[in-house]
Structure 1
Amino acid sequence: MNIILVDDEPLEIEQLTFLIQKHYPKWNVYHAFDAAQALNICEKQHIDLSFLDIHLPGKDGLELGKLLKTKHTHMEFIIVTAFQTFEYAQTSIKLGVADYLTKPVIEEELVEVLNKFKHRGNYSPSIQQALSIIHQEFKDKVTLPYLSSKIHMSPIYFSRKFMEEVGIGFSEYLNKYRIETAAGLMAKNPNFHISTIAEECGFNSQHYFSQQFKKYYGKTPREYKVEVTN
């Protein structure tokens, strides 16, 4: 199950990510801070469910939803907004959204929405085991041969099965998990040095970490850290 959260407020994204992964830790959560980032991610990844904030820089969430709907007919939408107006609700209904949440998002209401999609997050036992190993050992050198041997599969078969069930390749998933963990560390530990965070998340090179982080979040670790801690 692949989800994208589109909101220009990093703390809102961090909160939603935490709550989603608390209840559905196997789901993949992508982040975008504006419509352009969201469109770029959705072109590269098979996204099943989008959480769209209405007030975004550039195209707003409703405009983005209409555009995504025409390009990705399988995708479903949850509108998230701090404003409760009939106009927004009406437009959301026309868009065919699966639900409509108001900020601050209440955990119980979010879980009720997520439960509608829980059947999409089922992985086979072997892939569940592989994901568990990644989540436990991501700080270390986790390779495809190592992981496939741990779950008693050939590397080629494991790689294909991982892609089929998870929706992205093993290496991309590992990198994504490390980057998201780094973002969480920066939000919770503002005094940590970037180099410390990079090392804690399995990156031997701070330069490479910064490159990958900017590729994923659209900003450097330092810029992100300033934004979420001020």
Structure 2
Amino acid sequence: MNVLVVDDERAIREGIRRTVVNAFPQMEVSTAASASEALQVLQQARVQVVFLDIMMPGMNGLELLKHVRGSHAYTKWIVVTAHSEFAYAQEALRLGARDYILKPIGKDQIIEAIAALEAEYDVEKRQTPDAGLFELNLKYLREAVFRRWIWGLDIGRFDLTAIKDEYEHFHLITVRLASSVELTLHNFIVENVMSEYLGLSGKGFILSLEGDFLTGVVMLREGLTPDAFTAGANEHLTRYLKVAYQFYTSPLLSDFYAIPSEIRKLHTAGNAPETAPPSENKNDVIDIALQYIRSNFKENLSLEIVASVVFLNPVYFSKLFKQKTGNGYKEYVTQLRMERAKELLAAPDMSVTRVGELVGYPDVRHFTQVFRKYHESTPSQYRLVKKSL
């Protein structure tokens, strides 16, 4: 069996690793200091058992378990934590954890947990001897072979006929992420969220094709329309994915061997300088962007991120934006923030620092400088003047 130990504390991580290696020398043991590192290991190798710390910086253990449980149903999870509250144990077990151990953890507990899961794994392997091989081959087919096939590269002895027969009629799907985000982590989230949703919607698969671009194939269950599928996909993605993205569902297709050319067209079109969503005219696209800005102006909203939301090249988006609003992008966002700051300053109990944070300026000195430029007074001075009126 392959074992992964995920804990941000090096002493605990190495202690569990040494215990497993000494007691079970036949096992391969990897370690990860964060959820992000764990995601990379899980992408590259088939792991049977994971020791998982709950409280880690960034994505915590429960969030990691939530993201990967759909695509790693075969993995058995042992949650290790210093938190004794029952809510943590309850949530971990609900998400599929097989055991829950409190720190400080003893060697006997580790050995006992691994021995029990090894025995369980051996029984499962005898009952379904081809399950592991099938799962591994399917992973390689979807990710390596399918990717090579799309780019027109040799796929060796692999035969795509079986997949072709499964998908007589299908839709292509694509997801493009904002290029400024941490792609490894968010690609993994998209793959797992969409894999779970595809299972609910019919059958299909999705994989990372290149950098910020993911693609897949879906055959929808009877009664589910493409529009309803797309709406549901967006609902799932926005729930877990906190970055800008563009989702697309193709019309119904039947020529399986046309997939490579169709996907390459979609990939190229996404980079074209004047590409907009087919159902939107130019004014509609900017209206969508404006709505997004008004809902997220307190975030770090670069022009590139907002352009990616409406699937436009940043230079072309900037041109359309100025035509529509009469202002440059940066000027518009700053004015919006300053107007909102004036409203918030009317609340006497809210500090100037907090007002700045709520309008997108975590540095109070920078916020004060920008506010003075637009209103010819500092935020504190503005508040005093308004209070005296």
Fraction of identical pairs, as percent: 33
Alignment of 1:64-75 (within 5 A): 64-75=64-75
Match of 2:60 in 1: 60
Q: Does 1:96 align with 2:110?
A: no
Structure 1 counterpart SS, 2:78 = strand
Q: CA 1:73 to 1:118, structure 2 compared with 1: closer, same or farther past 3 Å?
A: closer
Match of 1:117 in 2: 117
Match of 2:14 in 1: 14
Match of 1:23 in 2: 23
Structure 1 counterpart SS, 2:4 = strand
Q: Give the C-alpha shift of residue 8 in structure 1.
A: 0.5
Match of 1:40 in 2: 40
Aligned-CA RMSD value: 1.9
CA distance in 2 between partners of 1:25 and 1:101 (Å): 23
- Residues 69 and 96 of structure 2 are in contact (CA less than 8 Å); yes or no, is this contact kept in structure 1? no
Higher relative contact order, chain-length normalized (CA < 8 Å, sep 6+): 1
- Residues 2 and 27 of structure 2 are in contact (CA less than 8 Å); yes or no, is this contact kept in structure 1? yes
- 110-119 vs 15-24, which moves further: 110-119
Structure 2 counterpart SS, 1:31 = strand
Structure 2 counterpart SS, 1:13 = helix
Larger radius of gyration between Structure 1 and Structure 2: 2
Structure 1 counterpart SS, 2:51 = strand
CA distance in 1 between partners of 2:47 and 2:91 (Å): 22
Match of 1:2 in 2: 2
Larger helix proportion of the pair? 1
CA distance in 2 between partners of 1:98 and 1:36 (Å): 22
Alignment of 1:1-230 (within 5 A): 1-119=1-119, 120=121
CA distance in 2 between partners of 1:68 and 1:51 (Å): 14
Instruction: Normalising by structure 2, report the TM-score.
Output: 0.31
CA distance in 2 between partners of 1:100 and 1:85 (Å): 12
- Residues 55 and 81 of structure 2 are in contact (CA less than 8 Å); yes or no, is this contact kept in structure 1? yes
Structure 2 counterpart SS, 1:70 = coil
Q: Give the C-alpha shift of residue 118 in structure 1.
A: 2.6
CA distance in 1 between partners of 2:63 and 2:55 (Å): 10
User: What amino acid is the match of 1:90?
Assistant: Q
Equivalenced residues, count: 124
| 5+ residue gaps, structure 2 | 123-132, 137-389
User: What amino acid is the match of 2:71?
Assistant: K
Match of 1:145 in 2: none
Moved over 6 A (4+): none
Q: Give the C-alpha shift of residue 20 in structure 1.
A: 0.7
Instruction: Normalising by structure 1, report the TM-score.
Output: 0.51
CA distance in 2 between partners of 1:31 and 1:17 (Å): 7
Q: Give the C-alpha shift of residue 92 in structure 1.
A: 1.2
Q: Give the C-alpha shift of residue 94 in structure 1.
A: 0.4
User: What amino acid is the match of 1:38?
Assistant: A
